[in-house]
Amino acid sequence: MSSHPPSAPPAPSPYIALEDLPLKGVRVLEISHMIMGPATGMTLADLGAEVIKVEPVDGDRTRRLKSAGIGYFPVFNRNKQSFAVDLKSAEGQKLVQDLADRADIVLENFRDDSLQQYGLDYASVRARNPRAIYVSLKGFLSGPYKERTALDEVVQMMGGMAYVNGGDDRPQRAAPSVNDILGGQFGVIGALSALHERARTGVGKYIRAGLFETNLLLMAQFITQFELTGVPVLPFGSKREPPWGVYDLFTTKDGGRVFVAVVSDTQWRTFAAAFMPAGWADDARLFSAVDREAARPWVVPAVAEVFKTWNKAELCEALEKAKLSYAPVNQPHDLLQDPHLTQGGALMPTVLPTGEHISTPTLPLEFDGLKVGKRADPPKVGEHTVAILKDLGLDDEAIALLRQHGKIGG
């Protein structure tokens, strides 16, 4: 008889079971590149849709990007099938048309009318498959700029985001591809809304999401601020006075930096009692948020002197205990060790086609306490080409002939 104690049961998975994913059974054809299109396809794939990514025979060019672009393909292409095909050939066009004809959703992010020559524009797809929901991810929606090409940085510059993020004399783009990623999610919202409507009407819809209009929504609060006050927003990199007594970045004894925000009256009393000298919590000069804003010239330096006596880790622990809003200043890679993310399942081990191991984030969603996980790593070029062709009804001989003539890859 074994003397070893019984092993502990495995921890419950933080992810939804594959058979319970909400978009299971939905077919998506993704003809896209870079970020906005792949981000849209990834969200649909994560939610359970079968997403076939159409790539050139030698693969999506984002696979080969280096430096700042090296993360594009690894982050936005999990849970997809790769179909590598020569779309410039008649054979390749027919194959992709066949996939579009049986898709629930077709999504693309190329220039207007550029897919018409392949029979994959909206009008052509709708004529063959009226149930298809066609999602176009573009720089601009309807209006004078509709035909323009755009990038995230272009709309940040023309849409005020670079100005707001910059300093007094230098616009600065937001570092993440914020319009690409968020704009893609509006494409998802449109697609899911059209799916819901199709259940009633039996026909698809043409959905268009725009980078510039995404940027507009993100700038709306500053536009409204100007309309109501007549005062333009100052760049965040310039000297700005927050509307609260304590809403600042502070340096600790060990050189760490911590942002602390004390907004409400209740928070102020808690903060003053926990960190400031006796009497601060009851100081009549600091009774209201308006009072504390007016007192910033002497309040903020006093708080800064107090925080210089704390180490960063100890200060964060004390702020956490007091249930106050704070944030240590981290670099992006520090999130790989964040206990909330690692223990909550928000970072998923991912293996790239090169064999390299990375961590990628889940969608920032939970369904009944469960996240949507990873069914498949980012695919190799054409990894699923043969299986997809067989599903279309091609036999081994036909597939071999396509490969021999360079019409497919993988």
Structure tokens at 243: 């509307």
Reported as type and span, the H/E element at residue 272 is: helix 265-275
Directed axis angle between helix 296-307 and helix 265-275, to 10°? 40
| CA distances to 250, 252, 309, 408 from 306, in Å | 10, 9, 6, 66
The verdict on whether 180 is a catalytic residue reads yes
Alpha carbon separation from 62 to 72, 76, 235, 331, 347 (Å, rounded): 7, 11, 33, 24, 22
Residue 351, H or E segment: strand 347-351
What tokens does 202 get? 């039996």
Q: What is the spatial distance between Cα 249 and Cα 328, in angstroms, rounded to a whole number? A: 9
Which of 122, 154, 151 has its CA nearest to residue 33? Answer: 151
Instruction: Say how far apart CA 171 and CA 240 lie, in whole Å.
Output: 16
Contact, 134 vs 206, CB < 8 A?
A: yes
The pair of three-digit structure tokens given for residue 373, joined into one six-digit string:
């996980």
DSSP state of 371: B
As a whole number of angstroms, the distance between CA 304 and CA 327 comes to 15
Which of 46, 104, 121, 180 is catalytic? The answer is 180
Contact criterion met (CB below 8 Å) for 180 and 35 = yes
Cα–Cα distance, 110 to 22 (Å, whole number) = 28
Please say whether the beta carbons of 405 and 57 come within 8 A. no
Whether 269 contacts 325, CB under 8 Å: no
Question: Catalytic site residues?
Answer: 180
